[in-house]
Amino acid sequence: MTRSDPEQPKAELVIVSNRLPVDRVVNPDGSIDWRRSPGGLVTALEPVMRANDGAWIGWSGGTDPDLEPFVDDGLSLVPVALSSQEVEEFYEGFSNGTLWPLYHDVVAKPEFHREWWDSYVTVNRRFAEAAAETAAESATVWVHDYQMQLVPAMLREMRPDLRIGFFLHIPFPPAELFQQLPWRRQLLEGLLGADVVGFQRPGASQNFVRLVRQRVGHKTHRDMVYLPDGRTVQAGAFPISIDVEGLEQLARSEPVQQRAKEIREQLDNPKYILLGVDRLDYTKGIYARLRGYSELIAEGRLSVEDAVFVQVATPSRERVEQYRVLRDDIDRLVGRINGDLGRIGRPAISYLHSSYPREEMAALFRAADVMVVTPLRDGMNLVAKEYVACRYESDGALVLSEFAGAADELRQAFLINPYDINGMKASIMQAINADPKDLSKRMKAMRKTISEHDVKDWASSFLKVLSEARPMHHKQLRPARRT
Ligand code: ADQ
């Protein structure tokens, strides 16, 4: 079945994201398989996709030119091809070398290259075309994240009948930073092709509306943008969440509890296990966090006999220069800290690059007394919510950066400013020495918050607002049955 096949059934709900929710794996005999990548987005969208003959459009991660649409475990997947030059210019270049640092407070210096932009436009058009071919009449298309910001307007031009939503998973910067972008107006106009533009935090939504007013000159009122052709665009905050129930169930399972115990034993049963889990990214604040921790040891406020910091940092985007440099810097820092402060069999930091299955992640969250999440800027940070979901006995402490979206909801965490290393150190000590009753009160409150708002609620609240956003459309999505 090819994409242009007129007989091909069209989808009532189309998801567009940079990556497909599956990874292509080549078996030893050369045959090809697809392995589901365990992201929360799939968990959230799977039930609505199934109820609505949904299709998912995304890049397969490789550079094979002609992968046909296929069905994997009941999900229709439409791969979009990228050439190796596009991987370099659109993905590593404009997406991760320009937009990512710019949208994260310019924590690293964004690079502006005209060829990268051209490639971004070309690839966005390819995704928009794939969506236009896949969507049924008056269908709903939900476009995701910073790699795809031109898709809404391109798609609207091709298919004005569609209902289009956009959600940005990362922060949206204040006007003062966004203004640097040579293509600022094009990006805003790209997003304005959507009926609803969603962000993680209310501040991001306000940044967007303000920029639209200033830069594009449209009339706005609160979260609404009024376009000259009579169309309206609604902006808003839709903080993403996780599969709280599923993760808690996993954390409660016998094998995970057993594994958590084993982890503590393997670490020689220290009094305190601190944990950091991040993609190895300069926005995550890993360097300052580990430095702060090493100072606590060096100053004698903690000892390697009593405490260990387990830092899981999965390398990512390794073809981008800044990521390679960061990895080297952190590798060196950990080596120095362990060399200076560790004892035989007692490293100050247990540093791991691996990517783990969900069971192992849950066991780590169960084993850790203090979870340390210190991004310099983060759209949400799911790790913080995952830790809370796993603490079903309402114990454990969360140290959380104010600059993560999650801080809006997890108010009872030990909130820190990640640039203030002394403050961060004091909060880590406060978390370690806290009265268990205090910890339990905090954890209970945070658990209540996340259990009232899981990832399925996130998806359905976005889709509900989207379905109400264009009254001239009468087709509604079928709600997913709760499982
Ligand atoms: P990320 O920047 O990738 O996401 P985060 O929200 O923390 O950051 O999600 C990372 C996910 O990967 C978590 O589910 C975590 O458990 C998992 N993970 C991390 N290290 C792992 C490892 N070694 N092995 C296995 N799993 C690992 C972007 C934005 C965030 C936003 C999300 C969702 O940057 O701000 O919260 O999208 O919108």
Q: Which pLDDT score is estimated for 1?
A: 36
Q: Which of 358, 381, 455 to mutate to test the pocket of ligand 1 (most atoms within 8 A of CB)?
A: 381
Tell me, yes or no, whether 446 and 461 share the same domain: no
Alpha carbon of 2 to ligand 1 centroid (Å):
34
Alpha carbon of 17 to ligand 1 centroid (Å):
16
Which residue lies with its CA nearest to atom 17 of ligand 1?
A: 383
Q: Which of 39, 66, 70 is nearest to 56 (CA)?
A: 70
- Total count of residues recorded for the chain: 483
Residue 483 falls within a domain, yes or no? no
Residues in Cβ contact with 6 at an 8 Å cutoff, skipping those fewer than 6 apart: none
Tell me, yes or no, whether 268 and 221 share the same domain: no
Residue 417 falls within a domain, yes or no? yes
Q: How many CB atoms lie within 10 A of CB 424?
A: 26
Tell me the backbone φ, ψ of residue 289, rounded to 5 degrees.
Answer: -60, -50
Tell me the backbone φ, ψ of residue 374, rounded to 5 degrees.
Answer: -125, 45
Alpha carbon of 263 to ligand 1 centroid (Å):
22
Tell me, yes or no, whether 322 and 392 share the same domain: yes
Tally of structural domains, the chain? 2
CA count, 13 A, side-chain hemisphere, 374: 28
Tell me, yes or no, whether 186 and 263 share the same domain: no
Q: Which pLDDT score is estimated for 472?
A: 53
Q: For every one of its 483 residues, what pLDDT tens digit does the chain have, with 9 covering 90 and above?
A: 334 455 567 999 999 999 998 887 888 888 878 877 766 677 778 878 888 889 999 998 888 877 899 998 888 999 999 999 999 999 999 999 999 999 999 999 999 999 999 999 999 999 999 999 999 999 999 999 999 999 999 999 999 999 999 999 999 999 999 999 999 999 999 999 999 999 999 999 999 999 999 999 999 999 999 999 999 999 999 999 999 999 999 999 999 999 999 999 999 999 999 999 999 999 999 999 999 999 999 999 999 999 999 999 999 898 898 999 999 999 999 999 999 999 999 999 999 999 899 999 999 999 999 999 999 999 999 999 999 999 999 999 999 999 999 999 999 999 999 999 999 999 999 999 999 999 999 999 999 999 999 999 999 999 999 999 865 544 567 776 654
CATH of the domain at 348: 3.40.50.2000
Query: Is 274 in contact with 369 (CB distance < 8 Å)?
Result: yes
Tell me, yes or no, whether 192 and 134 share the same domain: yes
Tell me, yes or no, whether 236 and 304 share the same domain: no
Q: Which pLDDT score is estimated for 475?
A: 59
Tell me, yes or no, whether 359 and 417 share the same domain: yes
Alpha carbon of 308 to ligand 1 centroid (Å):
23
Q: Which domain holds residue 99?
A: 2-240+457-467
Tell me, yes or no, whether 291 and 376 share the same domain: yes
Tell me, yes or no, whether 23 and 39 share the same domain: yes
Tell me, yes or no, whether 283 and 209 share the same domain: no
Tell me, yes or no, whether 217 and 249 share the same domain: no
pTM for this prediction? 0.95
Which atom of ligand 1 is the closest one to the Cα of 383?
Answer: 7
Which residue lies with its CA nearest to atom 27 of ligand 1?
A: 355
Residue 193 falls within a domain, yes or no? yes
Alpha carbon of 339 to ligand 1 centroid (Å):
30
Tell me, yes or no, whether 335 and 421 share the same domain: yes
Joined together, the tokens standing for residue 169 give 């998973």
* Residue 63 to residue 412: CA distance in whole angstroms: 45
CB-based pocket (< 6 A), ligand 1:
169-170, 240, 277, 279, 312, 314, 355-356, 361, 378-383, 386
Q: Which pLDDT score is estimated for 2?
A: 39
